[in-house]
């Protein structure tokens, strides 16, 4: 039942999801979790990744609206002195 409650618990923000995801990854990398808990952590991590991807897509859409779909790549500014400091 705890697994279902954990799965149904959506993070309040992108930052909260990332923090929880980082914690899960650290626990899994450290080998602190037994097999069943590792599977549950992996499942939760997948949910968090999907949540974060949706949040990033929403922000991307908002930026496109704010910029009027006129997003341009950053221009690379080259030093006009050709590296000579003289």
Residue 71 lies in a domain: no
CATH number reported for the structural domain that contains residue 53 in this entry: 1.10.287.1040
Residue 74 to residues 12, 34, 78, Cα–Cα distance (Å): 32, 47, 12
Residue 75 lies in a domain: no
- Integer Cα distance of 76 and 58 in angstroms: 28
Provide the CA 31 distance to its chain's centre, in angstroms.
Answer: 23
Residue 18 lies in a domain: yes
> What's the pLDDT score for residue 55?
95
What is the domain extent for residue 61?
Answer: 2-66
pLDDT in tens, the chain (86 residues): 344 444 458 899 999 999 999 999 999 999 988 999 999 999 999 999 999 999 999 999 888 877 775 656 666 767 666 555 55
User: How many helices (DSSP H) and strands (DSSP E) are in the chain?
Assistant: 3, 0
User: What pTM does this model have?
Assistant: 0.65
- Considering its fold, how many domains does the chain have in total? 1
> What's the pLDDT score for residue 66?
78
Residue 13 lies in a domain: yes
Question: 57: which 2 tokens?
Answer: 């897509």
């Amino acid at each position: 039942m705890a697994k279902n409650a954990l799965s149904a618990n959506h993070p309040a923000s992108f930052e909260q999801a990332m923090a929880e995801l980082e914690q899960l990854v650290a626990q899994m990398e450290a080998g602190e979790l037994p097999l069943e808990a590792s599977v549950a952590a992996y499942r939760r991590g997948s949910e968090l990744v999907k949540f974060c991807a949706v949040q990033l897509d929403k922000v991307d859409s908002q930026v496109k609206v704010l910029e009027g779909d006129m997003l341009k790549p950053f221009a690379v500014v080259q030093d006009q002195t050709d590296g000579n400091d003289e």
